[in-house]
Amino acid sequence: MFLAFLFCLLWSFQISLGHFPRACASSKNLMEKECCPPWQEDGSPCGQLSGRGSCQDILLSNAPLGPQFPFRGVDDRESWPSVFYNRTCQCSGNFMGFNCGACKFGFGGPNCTEKRLLVRRNIYDLSVPEKEKFLAYLTLAKHTTSPDYVIPTGTYGQMNNGSTPMFNDINIYDLFVWMHYYVSRDTFLGGSEIWRDIDFAHEAPGFLPWHRLFLLLWEQEIQKLTGDENFTVPYWDWRDAENCDICTDEYMGGRHPANPTLLSPVSFFSSWQIICSRVEEYNSRQVLCDGTPEGPILRNPGNHDKARTPRLPSSADVESCLRLTQYESGSMDRAANFSFRNTLEGFADPFTGIADASQSSMHNALHMYMNGTMSQVQGSANDPIFLLHHAFVDSIFEQWLRRHRPLQEVYPEANAPIGHNRESYMVPFIPLYRNGDFFISSIDLGYDYSYLQDSDSDFFRNYIEPYLEQASRIWLWLLGAALAGAVLTAALAGLTNLLCRHHKRKQLSEEKQPLLMEKEDYHSLLYQSHV
Ligand SMILES: *[C@@H]1O[C@H](CO)[C@@H](O)[C@H](O)[C@H]1NC(C)=O
Ligand SMILES: *[C@@H]1O[C@H](CO)[C@@H](O)[C@H](O)[C@H]1NC(C)=O
Ligand SMILES: *[C@@H]1O[C@H](CO)[C@@H](O)[C@H](O)[C@H]1NC(C)=O
Ligand SMILES: *[C@@H]1O[C@H](CO)[C@@H](O)[C@H](O)[C@H]1NC(C)=O
Ligand SMILES: *[C@@H]1O[C@H](CO)[C@@H](O)[C@H](O)[C@H]1NC(C)=O
Ligand SMILES: *[C@@H]1O[C@H](CO)[C@@H](O)[C@H](O)[C@H]1NC(C)=O
C-alpha cells in the first residue's frame, strides 16, 4: 500500500530535473547583484504588473554586532546577502517568495487572501496512512531535484566575484540539509586558517527564529511538491522519553541488526545518502560542501557520552525552562546565563539557567543522544529525525511566546553575534527574512501545535483563566447558594402542603473545589550542553 502510494507519487512528479534561486544564479545576476526573477504568470519581475511586488535595493541594518567574530569582509555570509545581491524582490500585501509568486505564511488562495491555520501533530497521533504519507513525502523530496533552487559549490571569491558561477542541482530534501550546513559552517580565512566560533543559526538569539523559518520553508516546499496544501511536519514529543521510541522501522528507522551505528535495512531511510558531513575535509581544502553523497545515515541512539547528557529532557526540564523570563541575556551566546534561548538550546542548566559547558541538555541533548549524523551540527539535518525534533523545540518556543507575550523589542536589536540581530537577514535564505519577523506567535504565521490547541486557546489560559479561577470560587459558592435557595423555595412551597404532615429536612452538602493545580516533581539532576 505504501509502495503503491509512493510509486504514484514518484510517477506523477517525475520532474527530475535545489538556496539560491535558480533564476538568480547566472553571472549576469551575480555581476549586477540583482535577484528579481519574473513571476511566471505575468512575466514581470517580482510580479510587478500584477501588483505583487517590485525590485528594490536591499537596506541593511547597521546595528553593531557582538565581539565573537573579530573580522570584517572575509566571509560571504556577512551582511547577508550583500556579497551576492543588493537588489531583491520586495513583495507587497500577503505575497512572498523570490519572485513574489508565493503567499506569506498563513495565507493561501490564488491572491493570497485566504487566512489559513495548519496544525502540526504528534507523529504518534497520525493514522497509519497519514504516517505512510509523511514517509512517502520525505522519500519523494529526497528523489526530486529542486526546480527552484540550486546550491553554490564555491565561495564568491572562488567564483571570481560572480563572473564564473559555480552552482549545483540538489534534491529538495538535501537543499535543506545544505542550508543547515551553510549557515553553521566555519569561516575560511585563507591558507589553512579556519575560524570556528561562528554560526548564523546557533548559539545566539537567532537560533529559534532561524529554525522556525527553516521548518516553515520545508513545509512549503513539501506542499508545492506534493500538491498537499495542508501538509505539516509532525513533531516528536521527547519529554520523559527513556529512549528513541521513534527509532523503529515503522517510524524513523530501527537499528541495524549487525551494525549498531546503522539503520535497519528494512527502514525507509537506510538507503539514504548523507551530504555535507565531512567538515574537516572541507576546512582543510577551504571548499564548500557540494552535495556529493557521503554514505549512509549514522545513528546509535543511547551510545552517547552519558557524563555530558545523562538522560533525555523531562517535562519538568521543559517547564522550568519556560519559566525563564528573559529571552536572551548577557553575551547572547552559549555562555549566556538565565537566557531562555540558551537554556532551551541546551547550553545552560534548565533548572538554574546557568550556562554549563560540560553538559548538553534540552535541544542539544537530543542531538548528542543520537550519537551519529545528528550529533554534528553542520550535517545534522541529514537525519529526518531533525525535523521532528525541531518541530517540538519550536513548540516550546511557541509556549514561551504565548506565556510571556514579549514585545518585538525583547528580541535583541544590537550587539548579538553576527547574523543574530533583530533586523539581520537570515543566512542563507533568498528571499530575505529577518530574525525579528519570526519572534511572533505561530498563529500569526499560520500554524499551531495540536497539543497547545488541546489545552485551549492561550489567550484563554493566560488572561481569562486566572480570573475564572478566582471567580470559580465565587461561582461555586453562588451556585451552592442558588441551589440551596431553590431547594429551600421548593421546600417552602411544599411546606404548605406538608404543613399538617411530617416535617423533614435535608441538608446540603458543601461543594468541592476542583483541583486547579497540577503537581510537579522536580528532580535535582543537572543537564547542560555544548554541541
Ligand atoms: C549594487 O551592485 C552593483 C554591482 O556591483 C553596483 O553597480 C550598484 O551600484 C550597487 N547598488 C547599490 C544600491 O549598492
Ligand atoms: C485575484 O486577483 C485578480 C486581479 O486583481 C482578479 O482578477 C481575480 O479575480 C482574483 N481572484 C480571486 C479568486 O479572488
Ligand atoms: C573580487 O573583489 C575583490 C574586492 O572587490 C577584489 O579585491 C578581488 O581582486 C576580486 N577578485 C577577482 C577575481 O575579480
Ligand atoms: C485543506 O484543508 C481545507 C480546510 O480544512 C480543505 O478545505 C481543503 O480541501 C484541504 N485541501 C486538501 C488538498 O486536502
Ligand atoms: C558516540 O558516543 C561516544 C561516547 O559514548 C563518542 O566517543 C563518539 O564520539 C560519539 N559519536 C558521535 C558520532 O557522536
Ligand atoms: C554565569 O553564571 C556563572 C555562575 O554564577 C558565572 O560563573 C559566570 O561568569 C556567568 N556567566 C556570564 C557570561 O555572566
- As a three-state string, the secondary structure of 52-120 is CEEEEECCCCCCCCCCCCCCCCCCCCCCCCCCCCCEEEEECCCEECCCCCEECCCEECCCCCEECCEEE
Residue 391 CA to residue 161 CA, distance in Å, equals 37
According to the model, what pLDDT value does residue 527 have? 21
| Distance, first Cα to last Cα, the chain | 40
CA 331 to ligand 6: nearest atom: 13
Cβ within 8 Å of residue 456, ≥6 positions away: none
SS percent in the chain: helix, strand, coil, step 5: 35, 10, 55
Q: Ligand 6, closest atom to CA 335?
A: 13
Q: Which ligand is nearest to the CA of 110?
A: 2
pLDDT at residue 261, as a whole number = 98
pTM of the model: 0.86
Written as nine digits, the cell of 493 is 412551597
Question: Which residue, by CA, sits nearest to atom 1 of ligand 1?
Answer: 86
Q: How far is the CA of 161 from the centre of ligand 3 (A)?
A: 6
Q: Which residue minimizes the CA distance to atom 2 of ligand 3? A: 161
Q: Is any ligand 1 atom within 6 A of the Cβ of residue 57?
A: yes
Nearest CA to ligand 2 atom 3: 111
What phi, psi does 224 have (nearest 5°)?
-65, -45
**Per-residue model confidence (pLDDT) at position 483:** 57
For residue 41, report the distance from its CA to the centre of ligand 2, in Å: 13
Helices then strands, counting H and E runs in the chain, come out as: 13, 14
Distance CA 348, CA 358 (A): 10
Side-by-side strand order, sheet with 87-91: 34-35, 87-91, 53-57
Quick one: how far is CA 2 from the chain centroid?
27
Query: Alpha-carbon distance 165 to 186, whole Å?
Result: 22
pLDDT given at position 6: 45
Ligand nearest to the CA of 347: 6
Ligand nearest to the CA of 334: 6
Ligand lying nearest the CA atom of residue 383? 5
Task: Give CA–CA dist 198/66, Å, rounded.
Answer: 11
Write out the chain's pLDDT in tens, 531 residues.
444 444 444 433 333 323 799 999 999 999 999 999 999 999 999 999 999 999 999 999 999 999 999 999 999 999 999 999 999 999 999 999 999 999 999 999 999 999 999 999 999 999 999 999 999 999 999 999 999 999 999 999 999 999 999 999 999 999 999 999 999 999 999 999 999 999 999 999 999 999 999 999 999 999 999 999 999 999 999 999 999 999 999 999 999 999 999 999 999 999 999 999 999 999 999 999 999 999 999 999 999 999 999 999 999 999 999 999 999 999 999 999 999 999 999 999 999 999 999 999 999 999 999 999 999 999 999 999 999 999 999 999 999 999 999 999 999 999 999 999 999 999 999 999 999 999 999 999 999 999 999 665 555 555 555 455 555 545 555 455 555 555 555 555 554 454 434 443 333 333 333 322 232 322 222 222 333
Pocket of ligand 5 (CB under 6 A): 303-305, 371-372, 375
Residues 6+ apart with CB under 8 A from 300: 255, 260, 261, 370, 371, 372
278 lines ligand 1 (CB under 6 A): no
Q: Can you give the pLDDT at residue 19?
A: 77
Ligand 5 atom 14: the closest Cα is on which residue? 371
